[in-house]
Structure formats: structure tokens, C-alpha cells
Amino acid sequence: MKDLPTAVLPDHITGFLADGAWHQPRGWLDIVAPAEAQPYGRIAACGQAEVDRAVASAQAALDGDWGRTAPAERGRLLSKAGLMVAARAEELAQLESRDTGKPIAQARADMVACARYYEYYGGAADKVHGHQIPYLNGHYATTEHIPLGVTAHIIPWNYPAQMFPRSVGPALAMGNAVIMKPAEDACSVPLVLADILLEAGFPPGAINMVTGLGAEAGAALSNHPGVNFISFIGSTETGGLVQQAAARNHIGCTMELGGKSAQIVFADADPALTVPTVVGAITQHAGQTCSAGSRLLIERSAMDTLLPLIAEAFSKVRVVMPWMEGELGPVVNARQKARVEGYQKLAEEDGLPIMAAGQMSPELSEDGYFVQPRMYGPVPADHRLACEEVFGPVLAVIPFDTEAEAVAIAESVQYGLTAGIWTRNGARALRIGRQMRVGQVFVNCYGAGGGIELPFGGMKKSGFGREKGWDALLEFSALRTLVMRHD
């Protein structure tokens, strides 16, 4: 083992953030590095009192300097934050890799995306305008996009460095005061990102942050009557609880939830494009990606041609310590490891053949949360492995004979996040793509989590509302119509 990780949070970033400063909470939680399975720091265990303070801070900001900050200045602040992230990218990537267990190369890519989110929304802040509406004689009618107020942002542990700017970027661009609640398993980089926003010059209270357990900090935040909107990214189950809280307070929310995305591969697909991308789409960050391509629907006539190439590439995937070169590191915690291995056990008890398995580096630590990537097939389309979100490096291969059957299988699950279609037949790709009840369709490419400019979100149990791209700005604002009579 070389270059053992030493990245830790800077000393001054401790506790929770409100009124532009870090405060001491009443309790603390250990943070554990997944590859080391050892605590290496601590985060604030926030509850009702800390959340009350954060909400009051956000409300005061809206009534104060932040509420009077012009859109162009909001954009400048975000753009500056993007440059600051870019300047500290390596330090942040080292911390992210240690905190989440993802290979350092992926963590570096996350920092590029993080800076780009700020660049994108920084540039957009002063370009969202309403319309003048032709109306009655003697009347002048316009619309404008106004902030929602205090927005709560609850994010998961898989890509915190991307989720943080993706969620607060458009909200700050539109003039909301934000409260970020990262997942208890991955807070380190979000804490530094919040501090960077302060350093960039956002006025006190524009950005606030509480950490802690979902059932405590997350529940206190989503139930708080002072919150005006909730942006939630996480599991379908927790999303249901957050929606109930939003309903009780009569506020809006966006839900980015789970997925079971299909890669539909036809025999005429280009192997050079298809093979690495299909494998990468399920092994990236150990399959802990909401838009992981966890179902491989393959035309039966490609079972002897393309499929062996995919299996061969899958068997070359390496599970490594995060600071080594390889495709995936550990999963995030012991619970997640048990969950993924539980699905593998189920597959094997039900006699599903293993078509390929990834390589476990001999240098893996004994205690880290590592699981072997496995590709099973053929899997019946109604088997749990083909329908449920595993959130691990497990690929279910499902053969199909006709285009109609491929569509029916792809659409048979309760999720609707993304889909990939692989074929040289353009008309067929378009025909199938337009039948997919998902938020994003990719043809001969796949952007698991990629594309800051591309609206992203789900249908069915994958959620509703759109993040990323221009449309996210509209989610974080309300349309106000103003009519004036002048005759």
C-alpha cells in the first residue's frame, strides 16, 4: 500500500453553520472511512435546536443583505465559488476519496463537475426573466421568477461533491437562503464546500448547514414550518417520509429517488462504444449511483457475440483501495455491504448463473467494506434481482427477442430514471427512446450522473421535479404575475 490517506477536515470547520459562522452542537458523531473501517473525525449530531437556529439564520438573511443582493452579484459569488473549488480540487478529491471510498480518479472527476455547477448557475443567475403578457386594454401584465424563501437540501452519500452544488447552486442563483443537510456517511466535502461559499462572500445566513442522522437532523429539517421548499435526493422510502412532511406544511418539493435503469443492447450495436460504457455504468462508484445501468437487456442474437465481450470487460474490473488505480473501491458502510451481498446470495440460492466477476486486489484491507462485482444471467425479468434497486456492483442480464419485448421489460419496473439504447439503427433508437417513461434517455452513450446542462430527474417511483440544467432554476423559484391598470 502506498500513499496512505491523511486527508482530514480543516480544523476551523467544525460543528454546524448558521449566521455565517460555525457553532458547537450538543452532540457529535464519528465519521468512518469505508476503506479503513476506522473513525477518522467527527461531525455535529444536529437535532431540533440546531435546525431551529439554521432556519432562523436563513430567514434573517432573506430579510437582510442576502434578500437585497442583485441577481448579477449572486451569479458573481457562485462563479467565484467555482473558481475556488477548482483551485482546491486536489485537496477536496483526496478528502472525498477517503470519506466515500471512491477511487481518487472518480473523486477528481467529481470536483471538476462541482466547479462546473457553480460556473453554470453563476452564469445563469441574471438571465431568468419573465414575460410581458398581452391582456385587457388599459392593463399591463408581466411575470417574474421570485425566490421561494428558505430551501432545505437533503442529499445522499454517493456523490456529495456533485449533489451539493447541483442542489444549492440553482437555489442560490434564484435568491433563496439554503440549508444543506448532507448524509451522515459523507459530510466532509460538503462541510468544506459550505465553508468555501462563506469565503466566496455569500452574506451570513445565505448558506447554512446541519449534519447528523437522517431521523434526527433530516426529519427536523423536513418537518420545520419555517422551510418553504425541500429538495430531496435519496432513497424512495425516505422520499416518502419527506413528502409527507412537505404535505403537512403545504410546501413544494422535488424528489430525486432510486432507479433500476435499463441498458438495451441490440446485436448491431458498436462494441467499441457499448462494451466499456455498459460495464462502467454499473461498476462506477461500486454501483452506488442512482442512474447505474443495473439491467442489461440484450438481444438474444447478441448473446454469443456482444455479451462475451461485455463479460470479458466486466471480469477485468478491479476492486482497489481508493488511492490506487482501479475501477471501484469499497461500498459506503457495513449495512450497504450486507445489502449487496444479500442480493448476491439470493441470486445464487435461486440458481442464477454468474457470467462474470470482478477482481479483488490483494492489497484490500481486511476490514474495509469491499464487495465483488458480479454479473448474473440469464435473469428472469420478474426476478427481484431484475426489479429491485441493489445499489451495488451487480448486473442482471435479461435476454429479449423483439423490440416490443425489450420495451415491455424495460418498462416493467417501478422506477423510471434513465435508459440507454445501443444500436446502429437510428429510427429504432428513436422509436424506443420515445416510449421510455424515464427522465433521461441516452442513445449510444450513457451519462450516469453526467451532464450538468441536462435536466435530470425521475418518473414513477424515481421521483419528480428536475435538477440540473436550466429547468432546475425554475424549480427553485415561484412565478409571480403582476397586473397594473393604467387607463
Catalytic residues: 256, 290
258 is a contact residue toward ligand NAD (CB under 6 A):
yes
Phi, psi values for residue 206, rounded to 5°: -65, -35
Cell of 122: 453563476
Count other Cβ atoms within 10 Å, centred on residue 247: 10
Which residues within the stretch 182-201 sit at the binding site for ligand NAD (CB under 6 A)? 183-184
Tell me whether residue 156 or residue 204 sits nearer to ligand NAD (CB atom). 156
Least separation in angstroms between residue 157's CB and ligand NAD is 5
Q: Report in angstroms the alpha-carbon separations of 340 from 66, 335, 336, 343.
A: 45, 9, 6, 5
Cβ–Cβ under 8 Å, residues 418 and 439: yes
392 is a contact residue toward ligand NAD (CB under 6 A):
no
Which residues within the stretch 442-471 sit at the binding site for ligand NAD (CB under 6 A)? 458
Burial (Cβ within 10 Å: 0-12, 13-18, ≥19) of residue 157:
buried
x/- site string to ligand NAD, residues 406 to 445, per CB under 6 A? -----------x----------------------------
Candidate list 17, 29, 114, 154; residue touching ligand NAD; CB under 6 A = 154
x/- site string to ligand NAD, residues 220 to 239, per CB under 6 A? --x----------xxx--x-
Cβ–Cβ under 8 Å, residues 459 and 437: yes
> CA triplet 28, 29, 30: central angle to 5 degrees?
125
In 3-state terms, what secondary structure has residue 313?
helix
Give the range of 65-73, 91-99, 154-162, 272-280 binding ligand NAD by CB under 6 A: 154-162
156 is a contact residue toward ligand NAD (CB under 6 A):
yes
Least separation in angstroms between residue 290's CB and ligand NAD is 3
CA distance 279 to 216: 38
Tell me whether residue 98 or residue 260 sits nearer to ligand NAD (CB atom). 260
CA distance 381 to 428: 22
CA distance 72 to 80: 12
Candidate list 35, 241, 356, 379; residue touching ligand NAD; CB under 6 A = 241
Give the range of 212-220, 359-367, 379-387, 478-486 binding ligand NAD by CB under 6 A: 212-220
158 is a contact residue toward ligand NAD (CB under 6 A):
yes
Number of residues binding to ligand NAD, judged by CB under 6 A? 28
Tell me whether residue 391 or residue 446 sits nearer to ligand NAD (CB atom). 391
User: Looking at beta carbons, which residue is closest to ligand NAD?
Assistant: 214
Tell me whether residue 292 or residue 398 sits nearer to ligand NAD (CB atom). 292
Count other Cβ atoms within 10 Å, centred on residue 227: 25
Residue of 458, 355, 359, 444 whose CA lies nearest to 398: 355
x/- site string to ligand NAD, residues 289 to 328, per CB under 6 A? -x--------------------------------------
> CA triplet 157, 88, 199: central angle to 5 degrees?
90
Q: What are the respective helix, strand and coil percentages of the chain, to the nearest 5?
A: 40, 20, 40
389 is a contact residue toward ligand NAD (CB under 6 A):
yes
Which residues within the stretch 343-362 sit at the binding site for ligand NAD (CB under 6 A)? none
Least separation in angstroms between residue 1's CB and ligand NAD is 28
Burial (Cβ within 10 Å: 0-12, 13-18, ≥19) of residue 383:
middle
What's the alpha-carbon Rg for the chain, to the nearest Å? 23
Count other Cβ atoms within 10 Å, centred on residue 424: 13
242 is a contact residue toward ligand NAD (CB under 6 A):
yes
218 is a contact residue toward ligand NAD (CB under 6 A):
yes
Cell of 303: 448473446
Candidate list 51, 191, 219, 436; residue touching ligand NAD; CB under 6 A = 219
Binding region for ligand NAD (CB under 6 A): 154-158, 181, 183-184, 214-215, 218-219, 222, 233-235, 238, 241-242, 256-259, 290, 389, 391, 417, 458
